[in-house]
């Protein structure tokens, strides 16, 4: 059995790093989803019991939408990081992490604590952090910024829904 030359081993190892990075970023995003789900295990029944505007989506829609959005959130960060060290994208990743933390905080505020006003403040901060993330990502990868557009639109829609529910239920 022959061994690959050292240069070939290094190239093979380097080619696996971006894939491992993508898997890690996906794991982080889906961990946020799982933690949010644990914080509000009966969110579907809570959502259905609320007074909602006529334009509110059905509760079954949130799971599929968020599943796709979390993948795009991870993939956008991957596009920013795949050819550069983390230290070179520290500011971009700090805002990416901040928007994920605010995303995670929203579910327990809204569903776990029934703090609709505080959840609205959180989602507004999330939108601001996401806007900065998109601007910073655009400098590194325009595609990465574009991948966050559906997420931003969904969060803007969710913020409007959060505000309406807050008004209808207080």
Q: What is the pLDDT of residues 26-80, one digit of tens each?
A: 999 999 999 988 887 788 889 999 999 999 999 999 999 999 999 999 999 999 9
pLDDT digits (tens, 9 = 90+) for 123-163: 999 999 999 999 999 999 999 999 999 999 999 999 999 99
48: buried, middle or exposed (CB in 10 Å: 19+, 13-18, 0-12)?
exposed
pLDDT at 13: 46
pLDDT at 14: 47
d(CA 70, CA 33): 8
> How far is C-alpha 101 from the geometric centre of its chain's CA atoms?
9
d(CA 154, CA 63): 13
Give the E-state strand segments of 67-122 in sequence order.
none
Largest CA distance in the chain: 73
Q: 87 is written with which tokens?
A: 């230290």
């Amino acid at each position: 059995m022959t061994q690959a030359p050292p240069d070939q081993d290094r190239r093979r190892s380097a080619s696996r790093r971006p894939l491992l990075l993508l898997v890690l970023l996906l794991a982080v995003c889906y961990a946020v989803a799982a933690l949010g789900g644990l914080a509000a295990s009966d969110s579907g029944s809570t959502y259905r019991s609320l007074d909602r505007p006529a334009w509110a989506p059905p509760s079954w829609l949130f799971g599929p939408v968020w599943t796709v959005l979390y993948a795009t959130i991870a993939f956008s960060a991957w596009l920013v990081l795949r050819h550069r060290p983390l230290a070179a994208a520290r500011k971009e990743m700090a805002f990416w992490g901040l928007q994920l933390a605010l995303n995670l905080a929203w579910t327990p505020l809204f569903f776990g604590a029934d703090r609709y006003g505080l959840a609205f403040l959180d989602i507004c901060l999330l939108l601001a952090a996401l806007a900065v993330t998109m601007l910073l990502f655009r400098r590194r990868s325009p595609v990465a910024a574009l991948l966050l557009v559906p997420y931003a639109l969904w969060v803007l829609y969710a913020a409007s829904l959060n505000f309406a529910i807050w008004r209808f239920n207080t």
